[in-house]
Chain A
Amino acid sequence: MTIQFNDESFRDDYTFHNSDWAIKRFPFPFHEDSYMYSVNMEQHKGGPEGSVYEMRFDVDEHYVSEMKDRALVLDQDPLRCQSLPHMTLAGWDLLELIMVSKSEDYPDLFELHRNGNQWRWINKPMGIDHSFTFMDETTLPYGPMEYITRQAQGDFVVLDQRDEMLWMDAGMVTTQADWSLDFDIGMNFFEWHAPVPKAHEMGIFKRALKFLLNIQQGAPARRLNWTMTVNPLLDTSPENYHQWGIQKTTLTPENIGHKQHLRVELQTFFRLPRSNALVFPIRCYLCSFQDLMTAPKWGRRLHRVIRDLPDELATYKGFIDNRPMMLDYLSQFDDGLPTSAGVWPDLETEPPLAK
């Protein structure tokens, strides 16, 4: 299908919106009526047609506006994109991976023409037609990682692998759930995960690291993570938290349906060929509560998950104060009926709200 790109904002007047198409394909993260951390990883080898899992790098209606938002963030704070000196080769690897994947998966939107190291990259939605020499930084306006991730939705962290450990040595991070690349750069897997409650004690990070170290080229993996965001604000950074934190207090019973967003990250993991680095794209999807409630199954389930979530997780995710108001709202959409297994909305088979 051809995508109609929205003209929308993720700040100030917040004109962000999801079409019916985007709502139906929203990566709802709960496969059952409760949630706890787990090593929830699977192969990233496609998914149902039209789903966010189908392509290696999903492109959707928010693409062009998200890239404008990223450019704004970088203008104000160049530290959101950093690469330690030894990571340039990995940047080229990433540029190649994204250009090849997008041109193969979306031939009507992206083209890549390669003649030896002479490459021509055409990005139609962003109006880019650029010839450059692969592996020659002087032929790009930015470093290779920055160049390509200014044209790809989601954050990107590039991990160096050495001493049986992953090191956060480069990244483009402007749509993060409240963590700082500038602070975390150079840390290892256990260090940057240090603030997460419970998961260390549960052994999750040890097992997850083992899995990641063994990811092979051509066999990417994926997982989902989620949190809550008031207003469709992409840049929930710690850097700007002194400005956006106050927005959490603007929720009211009247506006919660359109202000409160479930924020889901589709996280994927790809081994890069030349550098042996691992790239970790973190793609952020936002959906308002009222849009989620259009799928009766999601309404029932979200209520139960949020109600039963341990306080430590609600605190870490930053919505413990707003949880009672969320539950008042969500309980209207929970009639107590059972829900089908799995994440899909099952619109045809799940009963309408009996309330």
Chain B
Amino acid sequence: MSKFEFPKSIASRPVWGTLEPRQGEHHLMIADAEGAEAVLDIATPDLMAKTHLIYIPKGTDYVERLQALNPAQFYEGPSYEAALQRIRRVLEDAHMGLQVYLTGTEGMMGQAMNEVMTVGLPHTAIQTEHRGSAARRMQCVHCKGITEDVEVDPFVCSHCGLNLFVRDHYSRRLAAYQGVRVDAEDHGNLPEPKGIYE
């Protein structure tokens, strides 16, 4: 089961939708990991024939099934960072009417969303659907370093090494949640890490 029901949260937290096939001559799909399932769910031969699909497997094995959909263009990237230059290049040519589908982890969708907005596509042209891991992309408020795919709370900042708790406060600009030192008022007193939604 790749669909996760996020609990109700605060107003800065992103709300993800459910992909639907749209009309249009040009479609760009960016998916990572279990996002592949959302693509498989909406794929039709007609839609895929007009779709550029960019996919980052993150250790999953959906690639063959996605290729079997015969997308107009298919690219498999080893990481979001590696795929980024290509995403930017594709968006450079994006014209009004391009339909964008983002699906998979929050970290990828948040970052890709910023790329799409930067080239001036209206947010009505962008659909999202969360699938797979509910891990978070976290910014350490102290050192500003980003730690990807954080699954537990508290966690260790991969840059400065402080133990951070996971806030729900989310910045779309950074595509990240905020991490704050958990033992700031009692140095060394670290709660046992738990899954973020446990």
Contacts and interface: CB of A to CB of B under 8 A. Distances in A.
A238 B13 contact: no
Interface stretch (A60-68, A133-141, A185-193): A185-193
A1 interface: no
Contact of B10 (A79, A182, A194, A321): A194
Interface string B150-191: 000000000000100001111111100010110011110000
A241 B181 contact: yes
B118 interface: no
B12 A241 contact: no
B141 A238 contact: yes
A191 B142 contact: no
A187 B172 contact: yes
B173 A200 contact: no
Contacts of A200: 11
A192 B141 contact: no
A163 B106 CA distance: 26
Given A239-B141, A246-B184, A186 B173 contact: yes
Given A191-B11, A200-B11, A242-B181, A183 B171 contact: yes
A154 to B, nearest CB: 22
Interface in A166-213: 180, 182-187, 190-195, 200
B144 interface: yes
B103 interface: no
Given A180-B178, A186-B172, A249-B185, A241 B141 contact: yes
Interface string B1-24: 000000000111100000000000
Contacts of A245: 181, 184-185
B139 interface: yes
B185 to A, nearest CB: 5
A120 interface: no
**Chain A: interface size category:** 20 to 34
A307 interface: no
Contacts of A185: 173
Most buried by B among A180, A183, A186, A195: A183
A146 B76 CA distance: 45
Nearest to A196: B10
Interface string A208-248: 00000000000000000000000000000011111001101
Given A79-B144, A242-B162, A183 B178 contact: yes
Contact of A180 (B10, B11, B141, B162): B141
Given A79-B144, A180-B141, A191-B11, A242 B173 contact: no
Contacts of B10: 194-195
9 contacts: A183-B171, A187-B171, A187-B172, A190-B11, A191-B11, A194-B168, A239-B141, A242-B142, A246-B187
Interface of A: 79, 180, 182-187, 190-195, 200, 238-242, 245-246, 248-249, 321
Closest CB pairs A-B (n = 6): A245-B184, A194-B12, A242-B181, A194-B10, A186-B173, A194-B11
